[in-house]
Chain A
Amino acid sequence: MIVQGIDVISVESLVKRFGDFEAVKGIDFSVTRGECFGLLGPNGAGKTSIVKMIYGFSPITSGKLEVFGEDIMLRARSIKSRIGVVPQEDNLDPELSVLDNLLVYAGYFRIEKHTARQRAMEIMDFMDLSEKSAQVVGDLSGGMKRRLTMGRALINRPELLILDEPTTGLDPYARHMVWQRLRRLKEAGTTMLLTTHYLEEASQLCDRLIIIHRGEIMEQGTPVGLIDRHVGKEALILGGDHLLRESLSAGLTELIKASHILGDDLVLFTDHGRVLAERVGERARELGITLDYHRLRPTNLEDVFLKLTGETLDNIQKGF
């Protein structure tokens, strides 16, 4: 059954149009077995549109899309039996208990009753929901529902797990718990496609990721690779008057990898944080400028994301 070397998901020139509106504008990527692949991008970028095509909910407009080496539209039932889906919006059965939700869902995969029960127990244990087994889902908290949705997606022991913003609405503790569970699934060989707005989540879980903006791929790579390429090791954040700050960084270009303005702050990205901080401090004294504050911190994926998507937003505003 498991064919080595074949991509679990393979996407070429994929386009999705809703009426006249093109939500996905010809993108390419592939996900290999055992990998966790991230789809990042601002609201409306087209992540959910892509994900829905991959699990066969919405038909592709043009391009090529293969899951397990087959066309999802032609082999929907057999492919879907090997996938687990955590949709962006919960669709649990609110009138039923936690356990019944899992059992009913198992029925859709034609899992035999005894096995279904056993797996339901394991899943409730795995997702920390055993205590709530008999509780009606309508009475669960939002975060618990989310965990149940995720657990439900595991009922068929999927080879491919598709997660559309799985941890939205979870408290930090629950989020870390979920990350840990997902890592365990990954170790067990599950391939994952993950969309998220938590860049920390993407860094923690994803082997590779693409950043999508307005239906197009802006960047792709490993989390570390992207950080390295775009923002370097550290970020120096300067608060204070805009124009004066600009003059501070003038002449230090060899140290600065990139910069952008975020709200009221100027953020300078660099591989030589300490040196840059000292030099900026010196210049501030020379020029008699008082900085409200300056702060050095390690860079993260969020910096890459904000820099890239921010640039495009700027360009769009400027009419490019």
Chain B
Amino acid sequence: MAKRSNLLKGMDTFPDLSWPLVLSVFYRNLKVFGKTWKASIMFNFVEPMLYLWAMGFGLGVYVTRINGLSYIEFLAPALIASSAMFSTTYEMTYGSYTRMGFQKTFHGMVATPVSMDDVVMGEILYGTFKGVLYGMVFFLVVALFGLVKSPWALLIPVPLALMVMIFAILSLIWTSIAPNYDSFGYFFTLFVSPMFLFAGVFFPVENLPPGIRFLPWLTPLYHAVEAIRPMVLGRVTWSILADLTWLTAFAALTMRIPLAMVKNRLIQ
């Protein structure tokens, strides 16, 4: 398995980061985003809106109250998290793959004082920014529907940022080994969609069969939803801290991996 050890080569070294240059990479992506955001924000926005209408107002009529909440009250805060998740994941798969491969943007950057670690860290920052932005835009919609019940909701950028940072990291790991664009289909089918469906967005995880009830606990989306929902509804308890800790620890422990893997993919 020589191949496997090559994928992770350099994992045990300290990353070569210069934060001003990480920001210059972030800024580059932001600048491009500035040219295209109108179209892209619409797309990312329409889908959770459709879910809100179809599920919240359509299906919700048939659903009895969940933990004392109407279905739309239960659903809407979680869709903030999932819409953030999708926007980051799309950006860090299709978007990053294009910059890494077809456009050779990364190649151009590392011919300057920017290091490959700076490039990937800049990507993670950008993915995080984009997720938080899209999540917060959806938050505004939820607020317009009158579903935001508490000023605690102003803190949701914290769990959002932690969660989308994790999705940036995981997506970039996949991107670093993706042979082509088609392979991202598997990523979404195998990981992202199941999370969307079973990590407590649409129904409480207690409704899962007992044998697999632990599975959502392993996903970042579950912990983000567990933090965001009480914040929006004003039902904050100490257990949120456990979720935030889980998210922070996961991000911190995995951060090094995509830095090594993207570098090993590109530098031969």
Cα distance A90–B18 in the bound complex, in angstroms: 25
- Structural contact, B28 and A93, CB atoms closer than 8 A: yes
Q: Is the interface of B mostly helix, strand, loop or mixed?
A: helix
One digit per residue, 1 when the CB lies within 8 angstroms of any chain A CB and 0 when it does not, for chain B 89-103 equals 000000000000001
Q: Any chain B CB within 8 A of the CB of A122?
A: no
Contacts of B31 in A (CB 8 A): 96, 100, 104
Q: Any chain A CB within 8 A of the CB of B20?
A: yes
Q: Any chain B CB within 8 A of the CB of A132?
A: no
Q: Any chain A CB within 8 A of the CB of B114?
A: yes
User: Using a Cβ–Cβ cut-off of 8 Å, how many residues does chain B contribute to the interface with A?
Assistant: 25
Question: Nearest Cβ in chain A — how far from B176, in angstroms?
Answer: 17
Q: Any chain B CB within 8 A of the CB of A95?
A: yes
State which of A75-83, A193-201, A283-291 sits at the interface with chain B: A75-83
Contacts of A127 in B (CB 8 A): none
Q: Any chain A CB within 8 A of the CB of B137?
A: no
One digit per residue, 1 when the CB lies within 8 angstroms of any chain A CB and 0 when it does not, for chain B 113-127 equals 111000000000000
Question: Nearest Cβ in chain A — how far from B119, in angstroms?
Answer: 10
- Structural contact, B18 and A77, CB atoms closer than 8 A: yes
Contacts of A58 in B (CB 8 A): 267-268
Known: A77-B18, A93-B32. A108 touches B268 (CB 8 A): no
Cα distance A264–B190 in the bound complex, in angstroms: 60
- Structural contact, B113 and A109, CB atoms closer than 8 A: yes
- Structural contact, A59 and B267, CB atoms closer than 8 A: yes
Q: Any chain B CB within 8 A of the CB of A110?
A: yes
State which of B75-83, B104-112, B164-172 sits at the interface with chain A: B104-112
Known: A95-B36, A96-B35, A108-B24. A57 touches B103 (CB 8 A): no
- Structural contact, B113 and A104, CB atoms closer than 8 A: no
Q: Any chain A CB within 8 A of the CB of B27?
A: yes
Greatest chain A CB density within 10 A among B28, B103, B107 is at: B28
- Structural contact, B267 and A93, CB atoms closer than 8 A: no
Greatest chain B CB density within 10 A among A55, A77, A87 is at: A77
- Structural contact, B24 and A89, CB atoms closer than 8 A: no
Q: Any chain B CB within 8 A of the CB of A91?
A: yes
Q: Any chain B CB within 8 A of the CB of A105?
A: yes
Known: A96-B31, A104-B31. A77 touches B104 (CB 8 A): no
Question: Nearest Cβ in chain B — how far from A133, in angstroms?
Answer: 16
Q: Any chain A CB within 8 A of the CB of B21?
A: yes
One digit per residue, 1 when the CB lies within 8 angstroms of any chain A CB and 0 when it does not, for chain B 217-243 equals 000000000000000000000000000
Known: A77-B18, A107-B24. A96 touches B32 (CB 8 A): yes
Q: Any chain B CB within 8 A of the CB of A277?
A: no
Cα distance A80–B112 in the bound complex, in angstroms: 5
Cα distance A78–B107 in the bound complex, in angstroms: 18
Between A and B, 25 residue pairs with Cβ closer than 8 Å are A57-B110, A57-B111, A58-B267, A58-B268, A76-B113, A76-B115, A87-B104, A87-B108, A89-B104, A90-B104, A91-B108, A93-B105, A95-B35, A96-B32, A96-B35, A100-B31, A104-B24, A105-B108, A105-B112, A107-B27, A107-B28, A108-B21, A109-B113, A110-B20, A110-B21
Known pairs A77-B115, A104-B31; list 15 more (Cβ under 8 Å). A77-B18, A80-B112, A89-B107, A91-B107, A91-B108, A93-B105, A94-B103, A95-B32, A95-B35, A96-B32, A104-B27, A105-B112, A108-B21, A108-B112, A110-B20
Nearest 6 pairs between A and B by C-beta? A91-B104, A91-B108, A108-B112, A107-B24, A85-B111, A77-B113
